[in-house]
Amino acid sequence: MSEPVQTPQTFTPRIFSGIQPSGGLTLGNYLGALKRFVEKQDEGIETIYCLVDMHAITVWQSPADLRRQTREGAAAFIAAGIDPKRSILFNQSQVSAHAELGWIFNCVARMGWMGRMTQWKDKAGKNSENASLGLFAYPALMAADILAYKATHVPVGEDQKQHLELTRDIAAKFNNDYGVNFFPITEPVIEGAATRVMSLRDGSKKMSKSDPSDQSRINLTDDADAIAAKIRKAKTDPEPLPDTLDGLKDRPEARNLVNIYAALAGLTPAAVVAEHAGAQFGTFKPRLAELAVSVLSPITTEMNRLMADPAEIDRILGEGSARAEAIARPILDEVYDIVGMVRSRQV
């Protein structure tokens, strides 16, 4: 182990998070992530948000789809309330520090750690021999996304908790191996009534943009009729809503709809159950659909308006990338010094 090259330091609070442009964004991405990102803009802490296009290609994306999904994702961020002046909004591949630090972290993370990631197991499944090496290394790149900015807080949905724990392990191992206090031990921020929105077809599965069934999710591009139809057909059970949350313990689909309602309305699930106690789903679902449409329709309309001018979206992402690079590059240069890379090129 080398001598410490950096004295202990405290870390300025900074928020980073990202979403993969691996499909259209869903209600799960909105409630678990995007809505939280917008709230964080008002907490007086620097906020950096990223369309993680390099993560998206860990599973096949056609180039045309990837470009469209990246721009559509950026439009969704802005339509949901991210202000590109107050937050840094960009796409990952335009800031090479992510890939460079990702490589360093590939050399810090252990194979055993990566093999235990449930997302790897779920996505690679029984066919792991055929999965990309990138899919296996995904969490090390995610750690790099966060730590390239020394981000201290990362708002995410519940499904990303394990990857955040791995980010903390990588930061701690790097600090320990090199005898530095260079990277913060990042805190996950998992808040709200819908930290894990479930599929509308199966209450045991997460709502996901890559689920083969479009009926399983609400897309941010769905119109009012599609939203209402999907909620009407959502799997439930024949019982009415109970008067306490305890009564939803073994009813995952019912619990999911209550959580969605609560998150959309800004209420707690307990308050929703108290308000709708005894209601049949024939009554509750149309109310939920009405609420979902009232929240999502303005976002969809604004996304469509923004998507009509892709050059403006590209301009915003370009500007955000330059601002992100200005933070990440000096941090990466310090990492290279700590690791022992000779850096003699004249700029």
Known binding-site positions: 20-22, 28-29, 145, 157-159, 197, 206-210
Q: Pick from 197, 264, 328, 338: which binds ligand AQP (CB under 6 A)?
A: 197
Q: Is the separation of the CB atoms in 73 and 48 below 8 Å?
A: no
Question: Total binding residues for ligand AQP by CB under 6 A?
Answer: 22
Quote the least distance from Cβ 266 to ligand AQP, whole Å. Answer: 16
136 or 178, CB closer to ligand AQP? Answer: 136
Stretch that binds ligand AQP, among 21-29, 62-70, 98-106, 289-297 (CB under 6 A): 21-29
- The Cα–Cα gap between 175 and 173 comes to 5
In the range 31-70, which residues lie near ligand AQP by CB under 6 A?
31-33
- The Cα–Cα gap between 16 and 165 comes to 15
Phi, psi of 89 (to 5 degrees): -125, 125
196 or 329, CB closer to ligand AQP? Answer: 196
In the annotation, is 285 catalytic?
A: no
Quote the least distance from Cβ 105 to ligand AQP, whole Å. Answer: 17
- Supply the DSSP string of 60-71, one letter for each residue: ---HHHHHHHHH
Which 8-state DSSP code applies to residue 200? Answer: S
Q: Pick from 71, 98, 153, 206: which binds ligand AQP (CB under 6 A)?
A: 206
- Residue 91 in contact with ligand AQP, rule: CB under 6 A: no
180 or 324, CB closer to ligand AQP? Answer: 324
- The Cα–Cα gap between 323 and 303 comes to 24
Which residue numbers belong to the known binding site for L-tryptophan? 145
Which residue numbers belong to the known binding site for ATP? 20-22, 28-29, 157-159, 197, 206-210
Contacts of 257 (CB under 8 A, 6+ apart): 231, 234, 236, 281, 284, 285, 288
How buried is 310 (Cβ within 10 angstroms: 0-12 exposed, 13-18 middle, 19+ buried)? Answer: middle
Q: Which of 113, 107, 91, 87 is nearest to 20 (CA)?
A: 91
Task: Determine which one of 35, 40, 150, 206 is catalytic.
Answer: 206
Q: Pick from 117, 156, 227, 303: which binds ligand AQP (CB under 6 A)?
A: 156
Task: Determine which one of 35, 123, 150, 230 is catalytic.
Answer: 123
Cα end-to-end distance, the chain, whole Å: 31
- The Cα–Cα gap between 270 and 206 comes to 22
Task: Determine which one of 35, 40, 209, 230 is catalytic.
Answer: 209
Quote the least distance from Cβ 184 to ligand AQP, whole Å. Answer: 19
In the annotation, is 206 catalytic?
A: yes
- The Cα–Cα gap between 83 and 320 comes to 11
In the annotation, is 123 catalytic?
A: yes
236 or 256, CB closer to ligand AQP? Answer: 256
- The Cα–Cα gap between 36 and 15 comes to 11
> Which of the residues are catalytic?
123, 206, 209
Residues engaged in binding ligand AQP (CB under 6 A): 19-20, 22-23, 26, 28-29, 31-33, 156-157, 159-160, 195-197, 206-210
